[in-house]
Amino acid sequence: MLQSMLATTTGYIDTISFNYSLYNRFIEYTDVKETTLKGYKSHLLHFFNYLQDNEIINPTRQDVKNYKDYINNQNYTARN
């Protein structure tokens, strides 16, 4: 399901497949409720969209920090 939400632009298929695989490994590792999984999917989708919008194919730690700053500047809450 996550892969179908993310596979919207050509050129990102390899990155998305890798992220999808990483996401699946993460989910298998965690033991959380369905509502938490929905939150993970939502937040990851926002992050992947940010990466795509900023043409970031191999995100670095600095990219994650920049994303966190972006989120803070957007005044996102848990409901967004």
Query: What is the number of residues in the chain?
Result: 80
pLDDT score of 34 more than 50:
yes
| Location of structure tokens 């993310």 | 6
pLDDT score of 19 more than 80:
no
Q: How confident is the model at residue 61 (pLDDT cuts 50, 70, 90)?
A: very high
Overall pTM > 0.85: no
Distance of CA 63 to the CA centre of its chain: 12
Amino acid present at 1: M
The tally of CA atoms less than 13 A away on the side-chain side of residue 7 is 9
**Cβ atoms within 10 Å of 22's Cβ, excluding its own:** 11
pLDDT, residue 13, reads 43
Question: Over the chain, what is the mean pLDDT?
Answer: 74
Q: How confident is the model at residue 1 (pLDDT cuts 50, 70, 90)?
A: very low
Q: Which residues contact 3 (CB under 8 A, 6 or more apart)?
A: 16, 17, 20
pLDDT score of 69 more than 90:
yes
